[in-house]
Amino acid sequence: MTHEQYDLVIIGAGPGGSRAALDAAAAGMRTALVEKADAGGTCLNWGCIPTKFLLGGTAAVPLLQIQKKYKAAGGDVHLSLAALHQRKDRFIKGTRQNLVKQLTQAGVNFITGAASFAGPRTVVVEKEDGSSLLEFENLILAAGSEPASFPGLIPDGNCVLHSSHILQLETPPQSLIIVGGGAIGLEMGDLFARFGTQITIVEALPHLVPAEDGDIADALTKALKREGWTVHTGRRVRSLVTDEEGALLTFEDGTAIRADKALMAAGRSPATAALHPEKAGIMTDGRGWISTDNFLQAAENIYAVGDVNGRTLLAHAAEHQARYVVSRLRGLTAAEYPAPVMPSCVYGHMEVMRTGATAKELTAQGISVSVSRAPLASNAIAQSCGATQGFVKAVWAAGNGTPELRGIAATGHGVSHLVGLATVMVQQRWRRENIHDIIYAHPTLDEALEAALSAPLENA
């Protein structure tokens, strides 16, 4: 076993770990980045990027279907999932190689192997060609997460799939059951609907996109049903198995549905068990998520960023936390990790966008909330492509003086394009009198945001 010494060891080369490694190496720290699978992590290899490639490569299909309804387009388009995969895989491979090159050029020691703690200041890495003992001054745990599994609903790779399986399907199924009404389930459903797959989506909580306000979920659900989806909400699943005919889902009430394939997209679990965090004095909660304090610290000299700390399971959250931790290790900040205004998007034809708080989150904090909203049907750009379902909603908190903006949410075609502007507005807590501090180009979807902010205030 070789012995190596580092200023900083990072476990996990996803968006958080890679960002931390680049920042630390640029600051002159002797840095090792340990990855057991592929550089880029879930986001690049099995998550955000492959799904966006498949959605981006088929984006024409729903637009065309709208125009067919208006008799403005005709003809038939057939798609090749295999060719889409090829291009996606080529891009991902290239990006992964570039990332490793960038890390190496920055001076990071990139180690492929499985890490586990041997003590409070040491990590053992099992590599193909032997093992290494890494001693560290500081460590950042950025090990990420993996699809959650539930008893009775274990993906078998045959007809019951998890998100990595389904990203490799070469032929679209005729019918697909999706368990989980969050981003992964919705994006996959949208993708396969473009191939003509009959979609059934099942969510145990009362509505799809459970983290969002009910009115956003209602508008989304209505649009999906119009597109032919079957939506089951507030129904728990007892079992999901492969049998001789395909995938068989049985609800807790005993009724059953079936489809050619089923996707388990209900939740994620931390990838921490094999790390033996307890050997370094790291605390986890019952499900294995790493406990961190207000400085993202998990133990003396050990930090946890990204999915693994369970705070926000989003690539850009991991990156932001990584920047903070390195800046803290460099002595550039002593402040607690600031809770930033966090944007998130569900992509596809009907999208969901949110930045900042929901009305229900603020209300739960005892804050007096009002909302204002505008339908996409009043927006010329939404009208121009005939994608007019959905709305933009602004959430205002009563404060000193006029109400201040605390959140923006939207559902509809293209609303992910609003997320940047919306994030600045919420981050800066704009008030109604700020709305025309900028000029909104005409015609843009931004004007739906302007309209939502300008609309009369209603009770939340």
- Which residues participate in catalysis according to the annotation? 442
Site string for a copy of itself, 172-211 (x = CB under 8 A): ----------------------------------------
Q: Is 437 in the site for a copy of itself (CB under 8 A)?
A: yes
Helices 48-57 and 81-105: crossing angle in degrees, nearest 10, is 140
Q: Tell me how far apart the alpha carbons of residues 232 and 197 are, in angstroms, rounded to a whole number.
A: 17
Q: Is 406 in the site for a copy of itself (CB under 8 A)?
A: no
Q: Tell me how far apart the alpha carbons of residues 213 and 197 are, in angstroms, rounded to a whole number.
A: 28
In the set 20, 208, 342, 369, which binds a copy of itself (CB under 8 A)?
342
Cβ atoms of 363 and 203 within 8 Å: the answer is: no
> Residues 6 or more apart from 181 whose CB is under 8 A from it?
201, 202, 203, 205, 207, 208, 209, 210, 231, 233
203 marked as part of a ligand binding site = yes
Of 311, 285, 200, residue with least CA distance to 251? 200
In the set 25, 33, 84, 202, which binds a copy of itself (CB under 8 A)?
84
Closest approach, Cβ 68 to a copy of itself, in A, equals: 9
185 marked as part of a ligand binding site = yes
By beta-carbon proximity to a copy of itself, the closer residue of 269 and 327 is: 327
- For residue 411, how many C-alpha atoms fall within 13 Å in the half-sphere facing its CB? 20
In the set 83, 273, 332, 335, which binds a copy of itself (CB under 8 A)?
83
Helices 183-194 and 60-69: crossing angle in degrees, nearest 10, is 60
> Which DSSP symbol is given to 376?
G
In the set 8, 11, 20, 49, which binds a copy of itself (CB under 8 A)?
49
CA angle 221-225-230, nearest 5°?
Answer: 100
Which pair of tokens denotes residue 386? 């005939």
Closest approach, Cβ 78 to a copy of itself, in A, equals: 5
180 marked as part of a ligand binding site = yes
Continuous segment of H or E residues that includes residue 395? strand 390-397
Closest approach, Cβ 454 to a copy of itself, in A, equals: 12
Q: Is 423 in the site for a copy of itself (CB under 8 A)?
A: yes
Site residues for a copy of itself, 302-341, by CB under 8 A, read: 314-317, 319-320, 323, 340-341
Q: Is 53 in the site for a copy of itself (CB under 8 A)?
A: yes
Of 271, 368, 376, 300, residue with least CA distance to 42? 271
52 marked as part of a ligand binding site = yes
Q: Is 72 in the site for a copy of itself (CB under 8 A)?
A: yes
> Which DSSP symbol is given to 13?
-
Indicate the Cα dihedral angle 381, 385, 388, 392, nearest 10°: -40
In the set 256, 283, 364, 380, which binds a copy of itself (CB under 8 A)?
380
Closest approach, Cβ 66 to a copy of itself, in A, equals: 8
In the set 169, 375, 416, 455, which binds a copy of itself (CB under 8 A)?
416
Q: Is 56 in the site for a copy of itself (CB under 8 A)?
A: yes
Q: Tell me how far apart the alpha carbons of residues 111 and 276 are, in angstroms, rounded to a whole number.
A: 19
Q: Is 96 in the site for a copy of itself (CB under 8 A)?
A: no
Closest approach, Cβ 181 to a copy of itself, in A, equals: 20
CA angle 231-233-237, nearest 5°?
Answer: 100
Q: Is 91 in the site for a copy of itself (CB under 8 A)?
A: yes
Q: Is 343 in the site for a copy of itself (CB under 8 A)?
A: yes
